Amino acid sequence: MAVHAAPCHLALVHKQAYLLGYSIIIYHGIEIPRQAITDFCRRNHIRRLSLFGSILRDDFTDQSDIDMLVEFEPGHVPGYIGLAGMEIELTKLLGRKVDMRLPEELSRFFCEQVLHEAEYVAP
């Protein structure tokens, strides 16, 4: 079952859909397959994966990438090559370039805002 949302950000609808166990959530036409993302997170020791940036706003365009905030299990933070491989895998899965960031990589000028607005995806 999928939840279809209007182009604008509908955070409450998406959060309720995940809580109710829907298998796919759609942001601006981008399908986020819940089980595939959950499996990806488990395989890569990801404790929390969240969306942030333009995909959650009305300024998302055909040229926008998907920004994801990633938190790893202790002792499992990969190097740059490992992280790049994960970005490639998610890019293929979602059909749009994915840019992953760790919380500590965020600029101190907007870190608090990103953490506040980020929307949980998995696991």
Which single residue is written with the structure tokens 């395989």?
Answer: 43
The reported pLDDT for the residue numbered 123 is 76
Instruction: Please say whether the beta carbons of 73 and 39 come within 8 A.
Output: no
pLDDT digits (tens, 9 = 90+) for 24-57: 666 677 777 888 899 999 999 999 999 888 888 8
Highest mean pLDDT: which of 21-25, 49-53, 82-86, 100-104? 82-86
Strands 66-72, 30-33: pairing kind: unpaired
pTM, to two decimals:
0.74
- Sheet with 46-52, strands from edge to edge, namely 98-101, 66-72, 46-52, 119-122
